[in-house]
Structure 1
């Protein structure tokens, strides 16, 4: 079994080697490949070098990113078969990368980053050949710099969370996935901005210094209304960021960006809605009038969506209680559509939340009825509830068929 496993591993490594587009060079084939009609990037490496081993997978990707008939991506063991080449080109450390223009054996040193994007950008710039690497999607977090910081972070009408970062910072790189998720979750909130700034950029350092940034990442919250920024000291998971923003911005987002069950609900109107659904017809007219009065008194302190409480009451008065169940089923169906715009999803979710307020007291009455019928026998209570749930499910299925 060990022999089979070892053989499989060896074959896997061999297949990878055969599939490699990185050209192996030595003193015998060097001038047959380099200095011809194609430009070349050459890595001078040593098999024992840890940095060389770390670069190897990225270098393979780089070779795959360019057509081999236009650009050469090559390497030579400068501590082995390519030692003469290493001495010839003054290689004193590993890995050393050198760029050979087409038709030339006089290289220029490569001193850029060793990530795929940096390497590919260099090769494209020097050769004029585009790579097949797809550009990363634009960041969800708003990019701040010295030119737009005051306009965005100090905007009186917006709550702004700013991550002061540095490109080389490992903690910043670890933060990025969760922070980007938070930015996407709040993309539909017009008064909330999730932003980040390269605070190690020379042009941005004065701003970072102004706000006491001494390490990376430093995260600060800039409240609307021109209030002083506060340091963010909570956890760095998506959920923890969202919890902080909801508490400080009055929002109701959840991980992933959807609205919570509390979004759009108003306690005063919730009570009126619950009372409305269990009231008799004459009393319902009084509750409608009271709802209109409450909406007028609340005014701008609640969103325009609060008027849906009144609209729902009027529809139930006009079309009967069956309208509520049908409307809930219709909205639930629409929310399953993948083509809805985020703003439309928010609108429907708020309507669904408001409609749930109408049945809350009805549910309480059913529970009370179950308790009265069954007395102290919990088994009977459970049986009664199960029966009511089954009847509710049948009614919902029937409504869906009618729709």
Structure 2
């Protein structure tokens, strides 16, 4: 009589045990992989924790959300070290309590102690400031994200360039080469720089018309709003669109070419 319910419970237990848990975006570090991850090639934010630590358990959801919010940032790693197992790492980085947070900058292997808030907003504000990212807690890009200063200056120069198309595009390429990131030092930044040069070049070719910028921005917006974007490509596409949006805002009155600003300053003097 009780065999059917018993079999059902056994089956349910097997299903629950075999169901995969949600994959975490946190990188687990150990003595075997620590130095290969914290090698100076990326920004790495590390939490040293103990499984029994109440404070560690309390901040775990915020740490997990931080990792998920930043998962599309190729230059940022959010990591965990179980210091009760990796005792040598705990000693090496002077871990005396839990959780202990250490930040490693790109280009350095030296640890910096983090001593600010432990909610996701404070953690994300810190990473955004130090790593130059613009992520919101839900992983979307902040409205403050946009082209770096060299792009804005190059675009202002393109707008006021009085030479022919070839001459103006040569000046644009020169600005990209001298001010923009290299593919070796910043692959993600180099992709955006090449995108910028391509579409500002079209802007120049079409008589400084905003049409090519608008057309590409509308295309990217449609793709991003479609909901079927490959997560690995979504971040780059969002950044490309933000560059175009900021350039269009400049054309529509959000900013003036550099030469016009200089003239105004001279008039005031």
Is the structural similarity TM-score above 0.5? yes
Structure 1 residue 257, shift from structure 2 partner = 2.0
Q: Which has the higher contact order (CA 8 A, sep 6+)?
A: 2
2:240 maps to which of 344, 348, 351:
351
1:315 maps to which of 194, 198, 202:
202
Q: How does 1:182-221 map to 2 (within 5 A)?
A: 182-201=66-85, 204-221=86-103
Change (3 A) 1:151 1:258: same
Partner of 1:137: 22
8 A contact 1:161–1:193 mirrored in 2: yes
8 A contact 2:154–2:175 mirrored in 1: no
5+ unaligned residues in a row in structure 1: which ranges? 1-32, 39-66, 73-123, 368-403
Q: How does 1:121-270 map to 2 (within 5 A)?
A: 130=14, 132-133=16-17, 134-152=19-37, 154-201=38-85, 204-261=86-143, 263=145, 265-270=147-152
**Counterpart Cα distance in 2 of 1:270 and 1:299:** 12
Partner of 2:6: 69
8 A contact 1:156–1:224 mirrored in 2: yes
8 A contact 1:165–1:218 mirrored in 2: yes
Structure 1 residue 174, shift from structure 2 partner = 1.3
Q: Secondary structure at the residue paired with 1:224?
A: coil
**Counterpart Cα distance in 2 of 1:280 and 1:365:** 19
**Counterpart Cα distance in 2 of 1:287 and 1:334:** 31
5+ unaligned residues in a row in structure 2: which ranges? 183-188, 257-269
Structure 1 residue 177, shift from structure 2 partner = 0.9
Structure 1 residue 299, shift from structure 2 partner = 4.9
Is 1:331 aligned to 2:214, yes or no? no
Partner of 1:42: none
Change (3 A) 1:357 1:283: farther
8 A contact 1:274–1:357 mirrored in 2: no
8 A contact 1:156–1:225 mirrored in 2: yes
Q: Secondary structure at the residue paired with 1:359?
A: helix
**221-230 vs 187-196, which deviates more?**
221-230
Could you report, residue by residue, the CA deviation over 1:18-75 in whole angstroms, capped at 9, with x for unpaired residues?
Answer: xxxxxxxxxxxxxxx9xxxx9xxxxxxxxxxxxxxxxxxxxxxxxxxxx842599xxx
Report which of the two structures shows the higher radius of gyration computed on alpha carbons. 1
**Counterpart Cα distance in 1 of 2:70 and 2:126:** 12
**Counterpart Cα distance in 1 of 2:73 and 2:35:** 20
**Counterpart Cα distance in 1 of 2:141 and 2:113:** 26
TM-score by length of 1: 0.53
Is 1:342 aligned to 2:223, yes or no? no
TM-score by length of 2: 0.76
Could you report, residue by residue, the CA deviation over 1:170-218 in whole angstroms, capped at 9, with x for unpaired residues?
Answer: 21111111111111122222232101122123xx223212222222111
Structure 1 residue 318, shift from structure 2 partner = 4.2
**Counterpart Cα distance in 2 of 1:216 and 1:199:** 9
8 A contact 1:182–1:241 mirrored in 2: yes
**Counterpart Cα distance in 2 of 1:197 and 1:365:** 46
